[in-house]
Amino acid sequence: MSATEGRKVVARNRKARHEYEILDTYEAGLALKGPEVKSLRAGGVSFQDAFARVDNGEVWLHNLHISPYEQANRFNVDPVRPRRLLLNSQEIRQLAVKTEEKGLTIVPLEIYFTRGYAKIQLAVGRGKKLHDKRETLKRRQQDREARRAMESR
- The fraction of the chain above a pLDDT of 70, given in percent, is 97
| Residue 1 resides in a domain | no
Q: What is the mean pLDDT of the chain?
A: 87
Q: Identify the pLDDT of residue 120.
A: 94
- Predicted confidence (pLDDT) at residue 5 exceeds the cutoff of 70: no
Amino acid occupying residue 43? G
Q: Identify the pLDDT of residue 92.
A: 93
Q: Identify the pLDDT of residue 102.
A: 87
Q: Identify the pLDDT of residue 2.
A: 55
Give yes or no for a contact between 133 and 18, defined as CB atoms under 8 angstroms apart. Answer: yes
Q: Whose CA is closest to 38, among 86, 77, 87?
A: 77
| Residue 69 resides in a domain | yes
Report which DSSP code applies to 70: G
| Residue 146 resides in a domain | no
| Residue 140 resides in a domain | no
| Residue 137 resides in a domain | no
The phi, psi pair for 39, rounded to 5°, reads -65, -40
Q: Average pLDDT for residues 83-112, to the nearest whole number?
A: 91
Number of domains in the chain: 1
Confidence of residue 3 (pLDDT cuts 50, 70, 90): low
d(CA 52, CA 14): 17
End-to-end CA gap in the chain: 39
Which CATH number does the domain housing residue 97 bear? 2.40.280.10
**Burial (CB count within 10 angstroms: exposed 0-12, middle 13-18, buried 19+), residue 16:** buried
d(CA 111, CA 127): 21
Write out pLDDT tens, residues 13-66.
Answer: 988 888 888 999 999 999 988 888 888 888 888 888 889 999 998 999 999 888
| Residue 116 resides in a domain | yes
Q: Identify the pLDDT of residue 6.
A: 79
| Residue 102 resides in a domain | yes
d(CA 120, CA 114): 10
| Residue 138 resides in a domain | no
Confidence of residue 89 (pLDDT cuts 50, 70, 90): very high
For 81, the domain range is 7-128
Q: Average pLDDT for residues 146-151, to the nearest whole number?
A: 90
DSSP, collapsed to helix, strand or coil, labels residue 65 as: strand
Confidence of residue 123 (pLDDT cuts 50, 70, 90): very high
DSSP, collapsed to helix, strand or coil, labels residue 29 as: strand
Confidence of residue 146 (pLDDT cuts 50, 70, 90): very high
